[in-house]
């Protein structure tokens, strides 16, 4: 049995005390242990930002890449070795701003990765500029009169792009988040988890209290059917006094990208080894 302790790494996080990333980090480790996944089987691909430092503090294989590009790097890694459990950890600036285009394409490809967005609705590491998920009217040092832009709706975006697992968690709801990550780990195909991650230093609006008052769990609603894309779209628009968390949408059984490739039918690419020769007949093509 894998224990949470197996994921212990002797480096202390540099996050601010009270940062939402602690909750996400703990849930991440617990979910992996609960699913009996060993640290060496995991490759965490992250970008740049506070949340992207998660793998530095965890005993896993890690690939900390460029701002916004982690999904593209993860796609290459996943298609080359699908025996690894590939998990992404990156923030809203990284994932929804710089990485927005890659998100769309990862969704429609159904790349088999778990994609965790540490969404604090602010730029933390660059010290407090607005992010693509900052609400309209949100005041920061680069939106002195309040943000003019509508915020990105990651749930609706992923649904529109064809994602097969679209969910939202909250760093303050640890047990729920562990469950969510486990469900994402079990899902075959692209799994998005947008996680509300309070930034205690720069976001004084979207705090723990803000979310505690508002979030409710979709899966506790008797009527909610997460296989219904229309219902998921409707729920994705809900924002205000009540904010849903949980699995908005899941489509099971859709083949992942790599399952379409004959080359990867029996084993992952790197398990094939490199071809040792090319037959002379290939020259006929040029004759």
Partner 1 sequence: MSELTLIIGGNAGQGLESSGAGFCKALNRGGLHVFSVQDNRSRIRGGHNFYLIKTSTEPIVSWTEPVHLLIALTAETVDIHLGKIVPGGAVVYDPSLEIDEDRIKDREAIPIPLPLYDIAGEAGGSKMMANTAALGAVAGLTNFPIKHLLSVIEDNFRKKGDKVININKKVAESAHDHAASKFGDSFKFNMEQQNGAQRMVMNGNEAISLGALVAGCNFVSAYPMTPGSSIFEWLNKHADEYGIVSKQAEDEIAAVCMSVGAAHVGARALVPTSGGGFSLMVEALGLAGMLEEPIVIVLAQRPGPSTSLATRTEQADLLYAINASQGEFPRIVIAPGTIEECYECGGRALNLAEKYQTPVILMTDQFLATSNRTLDKNNIDLGAIKIDRGALLTDDDLDKIDGEYKRYKFTENGISPRALPGHQNAIFKTTSDEHNELGEIVEAADNRIRMNTKRMKKLETALADMNPPKTHGLEDADITFVCWGSTLAPLTEAMNRLNNETSNTANIIQFIDLFPMPVEKVMPVLKNRKRLITVEGNYTAQLGSLLQMTTGVKIEEHILKFDGRPFSPEYILEHLKKLEKRGRNG
Contacts to partner 1 by CB under 8 A: 11, 38-41, 43, 45, 48, 53, 55-56, 59-66, 69, 72-81, 83-84, 101-102, 104-105, 261-264, 269-270, 272, 274-280, 282-283, 286-287
Nearer to partner 1 by Cβ, of 59 and 188: the residue is 59
Termini Cα distance of the chain? 59
Question: Is 145:137 a contact under the CB 8 Å cutoff?
Answer: no
CB of 9 to partner 1, least distance (A): 9
Nearer to partner 1 by Cβ, of 106 and 218: the residue is 106
Nearer to partner 1 by Cβ, of 44 and 215: the residue is 44
CB of 209 to partner 1, least distance (A): 32
CB of 76 to partner 1, least distance (A): 3
Residue carrying structure tokens 């503090």 = 57
Taking Cα atoms as reference points, which of 69, 117, 112, 111 lies closest to residue 90?
Answer: 117
Nearer to partner 1 by Cβ, of 184 and 264: the residue is 264
Beta-bridged to residue 123, according to DSSP, are 129
CB of 22 to partner 1, least distance (A): 18
Nearer to partner 1 by Cβ, of 63 and 160: the residue is 63
CB atoms within 10 A of CB 79: 18
Question: Is 231:224 a contact under the CB 8 Å cutoff?
Answer: yes
Taking Cα atoms as reference points, which of 147, 185, 141, 154 lies closest to residue 92?
Answer: 154
Nearer to partner 1 by Cβ, of 240 and 279: the residue is 279
Backbone torsion region of residue 240, taken as left when φ is above 0, otherwise alpha when ψ lies between -120 and 50, otherwise beta = left
CB of 106 to partner 1, least distance (A): 9
CB of 124 to partner 1, least distance (A): 16
Nearer to partner 1 by Cβ, of 229 and 269: the residue is 269
CB of 99 to partner 1, least distance (A): 10
How many Å apart are CA 183 and CA 181, to the nearest integer?
5
Taken in order 197, 201, 204, 209, is the CA torsion positive or negative? positive
């Amino acid at each position: 049995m894998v224990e949470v302790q197996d994921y212990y790494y002797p480096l202390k996080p540099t996050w601010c005390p009270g940062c939402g990333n602690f909750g996400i980090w703990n849930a991440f480790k617990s979910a992996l242990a609960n699913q009996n996944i060993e640290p060496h089987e995991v490759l965490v691909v992250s970008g740049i930002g506070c949340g992207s430092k998660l793998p530095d503090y965890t005993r896993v294989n890690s690939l900390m890449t460029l701002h916004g590009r982690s999904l593209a790097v993860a796609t290459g890694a996943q298609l080359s070795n699908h025996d690894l459990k590939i998990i992404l950890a990156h923030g809203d600036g990284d994932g929804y701003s710089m990485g927005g285009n890659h998100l769309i394409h990862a969704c429609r490809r159904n790349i088999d990765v778990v994609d965790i967005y540490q969404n604090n609705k602010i730029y933390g590491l660059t010290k407090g500029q607005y992010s693509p998920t900052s609400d309209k009217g949100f005041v920061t040092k680069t939106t002195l009169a309040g943000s003019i832009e509508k915020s990105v709706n990651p749930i609706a975006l992923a649904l529109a792009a064809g994602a097969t697992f679209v969910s939202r968690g909250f760093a303050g709801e640890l047990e729920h988040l562990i469950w969510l990550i486990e469900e994402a780990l079990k899902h075959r195909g692209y799994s998005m988890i947008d996680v509300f991650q309070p930034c205690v230093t720069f976001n004084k609006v979207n705090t723990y209290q803000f979310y505690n008052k508002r979030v409710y769990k979709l899966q506790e609603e008797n009527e909610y059917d997460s296989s219904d894309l229309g219902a998921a779209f409707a729920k994705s628009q809900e924002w205000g006094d009540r904010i849903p968390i949980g699995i908005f949408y899941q489509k099971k059984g859709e083949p992942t990208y790599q399952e379409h490739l004959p080359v990867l039918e029996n084993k992952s690419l790197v398990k094939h080894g490199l071809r040792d020769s090319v037959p002379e007949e290939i020259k006929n093509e040029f004759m």
